[in-house]
A = this chain, B = another copy of it.
Amino acid sequence: MRKTQHLISKLEQFTGLGGEEKQALEDAVVGVIDYRAKEDIILQGDRPDHVHLLASGWACRYKLVPDGGRQIMAYLIPGDLCDVQVALLDRMDHSISALSACEVYTLPLASLSDLMNKYYTISRALWWSTLLDEAILREWLVGMGRRSAEKRLGHLICEMWLRSKAVGLTERTHFEMAVTQEDLADTMGITPEHMSRCFQTLRGKGLISTDGRRMTIGDLDHLIAFSDFDPLYLHQQRKVAFVRL
């Protein structure tokens, strides 16, 4: 399998890619690094000279606040680029950390930049992926402001199920949600204790069930309705990925 398979699956939601373009992406990968859970990949203030492509596992963008709290601002799954933005911004305004064990491919910033100059399609597709990140961020903000913690959890499960599906990591009814309840609590702006209570509720309603990190969706239609989930914001233009279970 190609190293860039997940990335290509992701980009192909938006546009077709030719064989030459796929090979060029593949050739840009120069190294691989392993991280353990909770290990930092990039720190706030860094100015990385490589772009990081997540190959396996889950990671997150986060910031710490003075009182010691952590706010997670994005989940990164296989196929996601961690830091395209550093090409333009002076330095990282947030940190990135592994949530589970992760494999990360490195691509020299210069190669990626060449590639974007040479292949208009790749350039557009990468720009599209940053706009998608932004759209997800907006939807999370809506959740934080206007949805209960339980609905936010349900919403996130729907989102990650679809995003995993788009890169080929979802089974029919279940997928690997490689995070702890504490991570989820830091995502939703609540405490781990309350996160646990939210899980009870969703399980009690028969919407989900869990076995370790494996998340099984018990009743997709009702989960969607309960969570007020509308996949429009994921902009999955080319494939109708959102089929019934």
Contacts and interface: CB of A to CB of B under 8 A. Distances in A.
Interface size grouping (class) on chain A: 35 or more
A63 B237 CA distance: 21
Interface stretch (A22-30, A128-136, A209-217): A128-136
Interface stretch (A144-152, A171-179, A193-201): A144-152
A131 B73 contact: no
Interface stretch (A33-41, A88-96, A103-111, A161-169): A88-96
A235 interface: yes
A16 B208 CA distance: 53
A235 to B, nearest CB: 5
Contacts of A32: none
A38 to B, nearest CB: 19
Contact of A65 (B142, B232, B233): B142
B134 A130 contact: yes
Contacts of A74: 138
A218 interface: no
Contact of A141 (B70, B137, B147): B137
Assembly stoichiometry (copies): 2
Contacts of A187: 145
B137 A88 contact: no
Interface in A64-92: 65-67, 69-71, 73-74, 85, 88-90
A188 interface: yes
A61 interface: yes
Interface of A: 61, 63, 65-67, 69-71, 73-74, 85, 88-90, 93-94, 124, 127-128, 130-131, 133-135, 137-142, 144-147, 186-189, 228, 232-233, 235, 237
Given A65-B146, A90-B235, 12 more contacts: A63-B139, A71-B142, A71-B145, A73-B138, A73-B142, A88-B124, A88-B127, A89-B135, A130-B130, A134-B134, A137-B138, A144-B145
12 contacts: A71-B146, A74-B138, A85-B134, A93-B138, A94-B138, A130-B130, A134-B134, A134-B137, A141-B144, A144-B145, A144-B189, A145-B186
